């Protein structure tokens, strides 16, 4: 039954998800052939630098908008399927409360992970033209020495981090929606407030941990060479994953408890 619930969620979200990501990929294809492939890096100039800054800014806005739409889609599906009028039908199914919650977690993760992969594919397509790769090859050795690894390796690490972080993002969205249900007159506003307040608290906790353990960026980290910088980054990632695991488990338990004891749905 869990598989059927996941399949139903993905099928319901597929049309909008495929449409917006197809538009994104079309924009990337057009930008590659109409702009990126026509750049000449042999003679850097102020107009070239300005156009690149503007282009990168626009792509960043596009990627941010795409990620936000996917997050909103995940949140909307969770709310509509469990807490709106549609929820009355959902709770009549022969499915336990945890199965409902896990079905939403799995389908939400699949959507957000697919979003990350498609975004990465679009960016990869943008920067793999001959002129861009030729320009990169001229500075590849210096950049590798500075980073402590090749740019491709770093990109794969960042993609893996994003894919792992998706599960935490999904549960935090669901936690915020569930908390919002405690305010019957302002459910949407309560969910939005819960999301931003939770984010703010997590950021404060993260900064405190980094400060106590000496991981905050500063003069010492700026003076690290490539290899030492990579080691510092991996230690920072390990700390971040540990903190993320604790917070994610706490939010899952809190979501389950609120839905069962306070909202009387499970």
- Calculate helix-pair angle for 151-180, 226-257, nearest 10 degrees: 20
Mean pLDDT of the chain: 82
For residue 72, pLDDT over 50 is answered with: yes
Report the candidate in 23, 110, 25, 120 with the shortest Cα–Cα distance to residue 73: 110
The Cα 14–Cα 261 span in angstroms is 33
- Calculate helix-pair angle for 226-257, 187-213, nearest 10 degrees: 140
Among left, alpha and beta (phi > 0; psi -120 to 50; other), residue 148 is left
Query: Is the separation of the CB atoms in 156 and 58 below 8 Å?
Result: no
Q: What is the pLDDT of residue 266?
A: 46
CA dihedral 107, 162, 191, 205 (to 10 degrees): 140
Window from 89-98, 117-126, 135-144 with minimum mean pLDDT:
89-98
Q: Tens digits of per-residue pLDDT, 200-216?
A: 888 888 878 777 766 66
The residues, any chain, with a CB within 8 Å of residue 199's CB and separated by 6 or more, are 172
Report the candidate in 212, 219, 266, 260 with the shortest Cα–Cα distance to residue 239: 212
Query: Is the separation of the CB atoms in 6 and 77 below 8 Å?
Result: no
For residue 122, pLDDT over 90 is answered with: yes
Q: What is the pLDDT of residue 175?
A: 92
Which DSSP letter does residue 259 get? I
- How many CB atoms neighbour CB 172 within 10 A? 22
Q: What is the pLDDT of residue 235?
A: 77
Q: Tens digits of per-residue pLDDT, 218-252?
A: 545 545 555 666 776 777 788 888 888 999 999 99
The Cα 20–Cα 32 span in angstroms is 18
Q: Terminus-to-terminus CA distance in the chain, angstroms?
A: 17
Q: Tens digits of per-residue pLDDT, 169-203?
A: 999 999 999 888 888 778 888 888 989 998 888 88
């Amino acid at each position: 039954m869990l598989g059927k619930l996941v399949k139903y969620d993905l099928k319901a979200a597929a049309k909008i998800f495929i449409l917006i990501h197809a538009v994104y990929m079309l924009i990337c294809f057009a930008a590659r052939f109409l702009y990126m492939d026509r750049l000449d890096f042999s003679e850097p100039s102020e107009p070239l630098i300005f156009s690149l800054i503007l282009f990168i800014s626009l792509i960043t806005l596009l990627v941010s908008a795409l990620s936000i739409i996917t997050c909103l889609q995940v949140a909307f599906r969770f709310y509509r399927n469990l807490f709106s009028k549609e929820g009355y039908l959902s709770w009549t199914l022969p499915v336990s409360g945890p199965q409902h919650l896990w079905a939403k977690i799995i389908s939400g993760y699949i959507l957000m992970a697919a979003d990350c992969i498609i975004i990465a594919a679009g960016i990869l397509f943008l920067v793999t033209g001959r002129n861009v790769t030729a320009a990169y090859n001229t500075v590849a050795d210096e950049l590798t020495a500075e980073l402590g690894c090749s740019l491709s390796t770093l990109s794969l690490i960042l993609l893996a981090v994003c894919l792992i972080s998706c599960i935490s993002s999904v549960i935090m969205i669901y936690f915020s929606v569930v908390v919002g249900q405690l305010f019957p007159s302002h459910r949407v506003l309560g969910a939005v407030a819960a999301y931003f307040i939770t984010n703010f608290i997590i950021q404060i906790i993260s900064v405190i941990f980094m400060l106590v353990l000496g991981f905050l960026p500063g003069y010492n980290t700026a003076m690290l060479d490539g290899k030492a910088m990579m080691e510092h980054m991996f230690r920072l990632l390990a700390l971040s994953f540990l903190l993320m695991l604790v917070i994610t488990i706490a939010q899952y338990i809190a979501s389950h408890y609120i839905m069962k004891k306070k909202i009387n749905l499970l």
